[in-house]
Every structure is written in C-alpha cells, then in structure tokens.
Amino acid sequence: MIAVPAQLVADTFAIFRDCGGGRRECVTYWLGPADTPEKVDEVIHPKHTSMGGGYQIDDQWLTTFWFALARRRRSVRVQVHTHPREAFHSPTDDAWALIDTPGFLSLVIPQYGLGPVGLDSAYLAERAGREWREVAVSTHLDILSGVY
Amino acid sequence: MAQDIQVQPQTHTFTIEVTYNGVTEPLTVQPHETVQAALEQAMNLFNIQNQRHIMAFYRESDGSEVTPENISLADAHITPGTVLALRPSKVKGGNG
C-alpha cells in the first residue's frame, strides 16, 4: 500500500487539465524516497509530446531525469496518465511503461482528467509476472488527507 | 624433468555503476565483454524480467545511448567508474 497525499492527487489533476486541455493525453510520475517504497510525496510532469490518443516522453529529458533520480535518491512509484474516455491499460501502456519491475503501479485517469478530482473512476494496473493486471485502488493506494 | 605449467589468461575486471529508478548499484564487468552482456547482467541485478529488449544503457555526459550492443565495453569507451543509466529506449502510452 502506497500512501498518497490527497493534495498530490489534486495537483496531478491540475497538471492534466492545464497540459491536456481536454484534448490531449498527459502523463505524470509520482515519486518517493528510494528507500521508502510505501510513500510518494512528489509529482513530476515530464517533458512529452501528446495527441488525442497517446503520449511519448522526450528522450533527452528522460536521461536527465534518470540521473537526477539517482542523485536525489528518489524513485518513481506510480505512472499516472490520462485517456480521452474510459480508463484502462492499453497495449501501448503495457509495452512501453517507464518501469517494468514487479509491483510497479500504473494509474489511468479517464476523460483527460476533466472529471471529479479523485480516483473513483480510475483504473489501476500492477506489473505482476509477465503481465499487467488490474488491481483495486483501495488496496494499493492509501489517499491521505492534508498537504504534502 | 620438465614440468607442465598451465598458464591461465589473466582476467581483467573492473567496476562500473548502473542506475535504475533512483538506485545505483556497482556492476563488475570485463573490457572485452559486449554491451549486450553487460546489459543482461544489469537487468538481472535490478530484477527486470519483462520488456528486456527495450532496455538500453545511456551515458550521463551527453545523454547518448551506448550502442551498438554487439561491440565490447572497451570499444564503447566504458571505463572503470563509468556511471550508466539503465532505462527503456522509449516510453509512451495512451489510448491510441
């Protein structure tokens, strides 16, 4: 179970609405201390291209980010991105995720993030074995009240 | 009486550092081993079991990918103490 400040969820939706504008997909990463897997306390908005039905991370940005994570001893715990309509894990999401180690979580937000702020309509996938499988938000993310 | 002396070729190893998702680990390699062989070692080290074919090493100095993967570490100018990022060669997603 990963503890997620509610304000971080709200900030993530704000990024999606500002960047995607209800017309394009957007992506963020939730980070926490590298030695504390059960905590996230930072949202990162990567440099990316996007369109109505997809996004791609900027290659140079990703390398810079990767070394910055190492210097700061921070790890990405959850990949969060939007879909235009319903939330699910697409074949593209399965094949080209940022992290592919067991237990990594990928959260998909429907309607470009224009719906109510929260995870009631979200789809959460976990990397398990050779596949991504749907898991319940309530058993994997503990949304904490307050700021971070 | 002559004695057979078996001479073993000296094995040179050195250590590089590989970083993956905020964790940096040392990796012992040999200069003549291929980039691909070192990649396999690194992916095993970080328990990367899936999508291994999209993983690659990247240099910090100029952000370039260490390629081609069939050349030796020496030819790729990977030297003791080199720090490499291990990451997917491409990250994308979406409904489309």
The predicted model gives A123-130 an average pLDDT of 93
B93 and A55: CB-CB below 8 Å?
A: yes
- pLDDT (tens digit per residue) in A39-85: 999 999 999 999 878 999 999 999 999 999 999 999 999 999 999 99
| Residue B9 touches chain A, beta carbons under 8 Å | no
User: Which helix (H) or strand (E) segment is A17 a member of?
Assistant: helix A6-20
Nearest C-alpha neighbor of A121 from the set A132, A103, A107: A107
d(CA A20, CA A88): 18
B14-88 carries CATH number 3.10.20.90 = yes
Q: In this structure, are residues B66 and A65 in contact, taking their beta carbons and an 8 Å threshold?
A: no
Higher pLDDT, B10 or A82: A82
What pLDDT score does B3 carry? Answer: 57
Mutate to test the interface with B, among A100, A106, A112 (most CBs of B within 10 A): A100
Domain A2-144: state its class. Answer: alpha beta
d(CA A74, CA A100): 17
d(CA B89, CA B81): 23
Q: What is the DSSP string of A121-141?
A: T-EEEEEETTEEEEE-HHHHE
Sign of the CA dihedral with A129 first, then A132, A136, and A140 last: positive
A101 and B63: CB-CB below 8 Å?
A: no
What pLDDT score does A55 carry? Answer: 96
Residues 6 or more apart whose CB falls under 8 angstroms from that of B75 comprise none
pLDDT band at A118 (very low <50, low <70, confident <90, very high): very high
What pLDDT score does A36 carry? Answer: 96
pLDDT above 70 (res A114): yes
User: Which helix (H) or strand (E) segment is A20 a member of?
Assistant: helix A6-20
Burial profile B49-78: b = 16 or more Cβ within 10 angstroms, e = fewer: ebbeeebbbbbbeebebbeebeebbeebeb
Residue in B with minimal Cα distance to A127: B50
**Nearest chain A CA: its distance from B9 CA (Å):** 37
A100 and B22: CB-CB below 8 Å?
A: no
| Residue A52 touches chain B, beta carbons under 8 Å | yes
A7: helix, strand or coil? helix
| Residue A53 touches chain B, beta carbons under 8 Å | yes
Q: Which two tokens stand for residue B84?
A: 């490499």
- pLDDT (tens digit per residue) in B43-76: 999 999 889 999 999 999 899 999 999 999 999 9
pLDDT band at A129 (very low <50, low <70, confident <90, very high): confident
What pLDDT score does B11 carry? Answer: 66
What pLDDT score does B7 carry? Answer: 53
